[in-house]
Structure 1
């Protein structure tokens, strides 16, 4: 698979991710939910300062060093994956699935980097009662919040054991994480590569 085709794929994935995030950011109030399919699929607008699926590195003090370190890690990961894609396109034995999987991971990482790096500079801050607009400023470079919107409250697990509480949200819905397209890219690609391309990766 040619590098040009992979670059085009990454660009298409990035545009889709950013278009959805910008629409949500500029058309929905923070914490607002749109019911797509009753009882199991919502578009629910939240923002988080951390990693995929709303996770966050807790830090003390006025400056969020955890968020900065996370941003640096994402950039380093993106550079590594980009270099790996470039190297693997030169090998004739590289399966197309491996290259597509890595392209998904790179698109997902860059998608969330864009949120963190620039959203604080170009958007006003979202609140539960206002919709953000372009031209605002609520945080510095690398300090923006990541926009999430996919929520699947499939069923409640009211008796969830304490050590498994990370699997439920505040309303005890199983897998209550709210996530975005970039998270989907990374998760789907990681599972695919580990399950279906394990032999090639292990080499």
Structure 2
């Protein structure tokens, strides 16, 4: 696989991620939802200020730090992917790396620019793209758009369960986006196939040294 193939994978995932986010942002009010497949797969529009799957990180300063960390990670990631391509690592590792890189870049775009190019989304209003009055935030202060929701199982914990007995639960509760999914799929695939993916080209596997029969034994 060549480096340009990595770039095209990243661009493809980024385009899908950003097109979906743009449509959600300009067609749905905050917390609006609609079913895709029954009740177990829904499009549910939320925004978060922090990490993947709605996690947060240290308030205003933490948000800026996280955005800058993402920026550095994406830049370093492109150089590292070029190194892996040059050293001819396994194609599976390169594809997974491209997915992770694209996911990080997708959420980075939200954090860096969405506050500047969109008006605020609320429970009663749909955001506008490039509003005349300006965006809802400034550079590095955009919110990440999430929309994929899979409440596969919903119910109540049995009374005998410690701490959560009788409480309502939903599995899978987190709402995420295509960028998050790309990162998760890439990381999980690397963990599952790490022995194959992380084997450096040119490294010979050690072969067990067998006991060679003595020359006298062969003659005998």
Same-fold call, TM > 0.5? yes
2:179 matches 1:182: yes
The residue number in structure 2 matching 1:91 is: 87
Q: Which whole-Å CA distance do the structure 2 matches of 1:162 and 1:121 have between them?
A: 46
* Uncovered stretches (5+) of structure 2, i.e. residues with no partner: 201-220
- Determine which of 72, 76, 92 is the counterpart of 2:72: 76
Q: What's the CA shift for 1:131?
A: 0.4
Is residue 157–residue 168 contact of structure 2 (8 Å, CA) maintained in 1?
Answer: no
Q: Which whole-Å CA distance do the structure 1 matches of 2:24 and 2:91 have between them?
A: 33
Q: What's the CA shift for 1:35?
A: 0.6
Question: CA offsets per residue over residues 97-139 of structure 1, 9 Å max, x none?
Answer: 1111000001000000000000000000000000001123111
The residue number in structure 2 matching 1:144 is: 142
The residue number in structure 1 matching 2:62 is: 66
Give secondary structure in 2 for the equivalent of 1:156. strand
- Determine which of 83, 100, 116 is the counterpart of 1:105: 100
Q: What does 1:26-45 align with in structure 2 at a 5 Å threshold?
A: 26-45=26-45
Q: Which runs of 4+ in 1 moved over 2 A?
A: 160-164, 197-203
Change (3 A) 1:162 1:24: farther
Give secondary structure in 2 for the equivalent of 1:50. coil
Q: Which whole-Å CA distance do the structure 2 matches of 1:198 and 1:18 have between them?
A: 33
Q: Aligned-pair RMSD on alpha carbons?
A: 1.9
Is residue 92–residue 197 contact of structure 2 (8 Å, CA) maintained in 1?
Answer: no
Give secondary structure in 2 for the equivalent of 1:89. helix
Q: What's the CA shift for 1:162?
A: 7.3
Q: What's the CA shift for 1:171?
A: 5.9
Q: Which whole-Å CA distance do the structure 2 matches of 1:9 and 1:98 have between them?
A: 13
The residue number in structure 2 matching 1:130 is: 125
Q: What's the CA shift for 1:58?
A: 3.5
The residue number in structure 2 matching 1:53 is: 53
Structure with greater Cα Rg: 2
Is residue 110–residue 142 contact of structure 2 (8 Å, CA) maintained in 1?
Answer: yes
Change (3 A) 1:171 1:31: farther
Give secondary structure in 2 for the equivalent of 1:173. strand
Taking structure 1 as the reference length, the TM-score comes to: 0.89
